[in-house]
Amino acid sequence: MSQTPDKPRVLVGVTGGIGAYKSCELVRLLQRRGFSVKVVMTEAATRFVSALTFRTLTGEPVATSLWADEAESRVHHVSLAEEADVMTIVPCTANVIAKLAHGRADDMLTTTALATEAPLVIAPAMNTHMWRKDVTQRNVAALRARGVVFVEPGTGELACGDVGEGRLADVALIADAIEAEARRSRDLAGVRVLVTAGGTEEPIDPVRFIGNRSSGKTGFAIAEEAARRGARVSLVTGPTHLGDPYGCEVVRVRTALEMRAAVLARFDAADVLIMTAAVADFRPAAFAAEKIKKHEAPDAVPLERNPDILAELGERQSGVLLIGFAAETTDVVGNAREKLRAKRLDMVVANDVSDPALGFGTEANRVHIITPDAEEALPVLDKRVIARELLDRVASRLTPQKER
């Protein structure tokens, strides 16, 4: 790092998982993308890939021990921690996640991670049961709450022979997340952003409801990205299994009417409203206070229309930048453009939900970004990347407004 001060510096931590060999590929990829890379390894990691491999790839000493010999003493944990623009741990074991969550620092890697002020990007990889354990998920949530960026493991065949969640995320996606941290701008500093996410649940009786398949992932990704870029973010979300994103006020609601009330209460204080929530268009006209018995099931459930929150706010011509999402199954662009016009929006992000591999509940999506005078088709992108792309466009639209 010292010999190339002009390049952004990434410190790659490698821990003792079978995915350790993929961090060699990551190092290469980061170098190709213009980063200066150094490596720190746990003792267990050296059982999977040798320090010599990383030393050869980076041309730099590899830190493996706090009690280093003469040659390694200049890469002491504090200087490593201070030099790094971004630290990443790829793959990250359940063990290191647990240690970091509790502030433990008993080897070179965890001591450096505790000492650094740089953003930390963690890509976990482990057996499905280890990943799903309450204790691991609690540790992940604790780190996330402190601002650690997680590149979630994917689903697929694991080294142990199981098939499930826990596989190291795609190396290119990890590199994207690192790059986003290294180059992150504060272009939304002070901007007040209101985001809605998830689907709503419209109760029929105390245990049944009408819902939809929205997972909330896109809205959560947008809220977190906006907060990391300096925005003051409120996230109003319907029921979802997702944990609170970093740095946001989170308001959890259930029904469309509750979402409307929470959004209206915050709208006047907002500069931007990004409405990703799949708000139910209809709700059951009546709510049965007691659970409806099987033999009393009605032949039909009469519905009544829910208010259209976005259309109502578009009517106000408030000056707040209004961005809607449109999930369509036919004529995606045409229908989205009609929504833009009818609801007087500044931007609509439209996607085709007829492809089961994309959209609701998945990690990726293919969207069109439509404004009154332009139309852009983006390729299939991870939802976090879509969040970055969208906020780039939001930031560029806000700049001229601020200068006026």
Ligand X SMILES: Cc1cc2nc3c(=O)[nH]c(=O)nc-3n(C[C@H](O)[C@H](O)[C@H](O)COP(=O)(O)O)c2cc1C
Are 37 and 14 in contact by the 8 Å Cβ rule? The answer is: no
- Report which secondary-structure segment, H or E, holds 253: none
Quick one: 113 or 193, whose CB is closer to ligand X? 113
Question: Is 160 an active-site residue?
Answer: yes
Nearest approach in angstroms of CB 122 to ligand X is 12
Nearest approach in angstroms of CB 107 to ligand X is 6
Quick one: 42 or 234, whose CB is closer to ligand X? 42
Query: How many other CB atoms are there within 10 angstroms of residue 162's CB atom?
Result: 14
Structure tokens belonging to residue 94: 């359940």
Q: Which of 8, 13, 16, 61 binds ligand X (CB under 6 A)?
A: 16
CA dihedral of residues 173, 174, 178, 180 (deg, nearest 10): 20
Nearest approach in angstroms of CB 116 to ligand X is 17
User: Site for ligand X (CB under 6 A): how many residues?
Assistant: 15
Nearest approach in angstroms of CB 111 to ligand X is 12
Nearest to 93 by CA among 136, 143, 147, 62: 136
> Which phi-psi region, left, alpha or beta, contains residue 248 (left: φ > 0; alpha: ψ -120 to 50)?
beta
Distance CA 293, CA 258 (A): 27
Region 19-58 residues binding ligand X, contact defined as CB under 6 A? 19, 42, 44-45
Quick one: 93 or 196, whose CB is closer to ligand X? 93
Structure tokens belonging to residue 350: 């439209």
Query: How many other CB atoms are there within 10 angstroms of residue 399's CB atom?
Result: 10
Instruction: Choose the stretch contacting ligand X; rule: CB under 6 A; options: 123-131, 169-177, 329-337, 354-362.
Output: 123-131
Q: Which of 126, 148, 197, 391 binds ligand X (CB under 6 A)?
A: 126
Distance CA 181, CA 224 (A): 13
Quick one: 162 or 205, whose CB is closer to ligand X? 162
Instruction: Choose the stretch contacting ligand X; rule: CB under 6 A; options: 10-18, 236-244, 298-306, 327-335.
Output: 10-18
Are 226 and 236 in contact by the 8 Å Cβ rule? The answer is: no
Per-residue contact flags (x/-) with ligand X for residues 66 to 105, judged by CB under 6 A: ---------------------------xxxx---------
Nearest approach in angstroms of CB 108 to ligand X is 10
- Report which secondary-structure segment, H or E, holds 352: strand 347-352
Active site residues per annotation: 160
Residues that bind ligand X (CB under 6 A): 15-19, 42, 44-45, 93-96, 125-126, 130
